[in-house]
Amino acid sequence: MKAGFIGLGTMGASMAANLQKGVQGEGHVVLVHDINRAAAERHIADGAHWMESPAALAAEADVIFTSLPGPPEFEAVVYGDNGLLSTMRAGVAHFDLTTNSPTVMRKAHAEYAKQGAFLFDAPVSGGPRGAASGKLAIWCGGDSQMFERWKPFLDAIGDAARLIGPIGAGSVAKLVHNCYGYIATAAAAEVFSMGVKAGIEPLAIWEAVRQGAIGRRGAFESMADQFLPNKYEPPAFALRLAHKDVSLATALGRELNVPMRLANLALADLSEGLNRGWGNRDSRAIMLLQTERAGVTVEVPPERLAAAIRGGSG
């Protein structure tokens, strides 16, 4: 089998190297391409074959991996002069490891299908360290049978490759992950700046929070308690008490002239929850306000949730 890899930047270089280590020993050939030929020298030295263009690579590869900066670069590699689609053959699978647009991926998927080829959105999570060590999540959207066929190649790149759903699903999962992370980053900066301005040493705040409920069990992990099962009673921590706590925090922010934009958004939702008579429900009941605005219902059956928790801890 011939496996092609396009995009040998910070993440791609390490992922391609791990792919080589994982599959060349089994007799498979790795083909590489990048807009900068010098980026491929280490891979060529380790046995990879240089290809002059995406089209040249697609003409030979049985499976293709791309790691690119974003949608414009992906579209250039796929649709451009000497792009992948110009020589794409039936039966070939392409896993795009880029953090990409679900809309862009679905459009391209339709074009691949016309040629009998299979496209997957397969964004990764783990950063440069994970790419180098192979400790990398790969979230795929696409055909389940083809995913299983090529999973051993994905396993050479990362240690947690899984099919999330149809085309676009992997990209959605990655965007949820990254957006959540940066919202949490902004929230951490907001409340820590308040604490520091209130006279507390930063490390002391960090050590204190680390020992609390947030630090011992992350907010995302705790979504399995109330949000996913859609169960807000009996309360673990009553909404009325959360309203009191966030009110005190925003009041302190006003005293210190510290902007508390995210905290005030949370307080507004807590106030709406009180006005709906939810004071004695769990404080996370305010999450229902957002699902209501979005027009979705979140309720995972207990047995599926328990299985997912067991699988995640294994």
Q: What is the CATH number of domain 2-171?
A: 3.40.50.720
> How high is the pLDDT of residue 195?
93
Rounded average pLDDT over 216-224: 82
Q: Which fold has domain 212-313?
A: N-(1-d-carboxylethyl)-l-norvaline Dehydrogenase; domain 2 (1.10.1040)
Ranges of each domain in the chain: 2-171, 212-313
Active site residue 244: no
Does residue 219 surpass a pLDDT of 80? no
Low-confidence winner among 109-123, 140-154, 298-312 (lowest mean pLDDT): 298-312
> How high is the pLDDT of residue 106?
96
**Highest-confidence range of 147-151, 241-245, 251-255, 296-300, by mean pLDDT?**
147-151
Of the chain, the percentage scoring pLDDT greater than 90 comes to 85
pLDDT tens column, 120-174: 999 999 999 999 999 999 999 999 999 999 999 999 999 999 999 999 999 999 9
- Whole-prediction pTM: 0.87
Report the alpha-carbon distance of residue 136 to residue 129 in Å, rounded. Answer: 9
Rounded average pLDDT over 47-62: 98
Of the chain, the percentage scoring pLDDT greater than 70 comes to 99
pLDDT band at 314 (very low <50, low <70, confident <90, very high): very low
Which of 2, 135, 151, 174 is catalytic? The answer is: 174
81: phi then psi, degrees, rounded to nearest 5: -55, 130
Low-confidence winner among 54-63, 69-78, 179-188, 241-250 (lowest mean pLDDT): 179-188
> How high is the pLDDT of residue 313?
53
Rounded average pLDDT over 4-15: 96
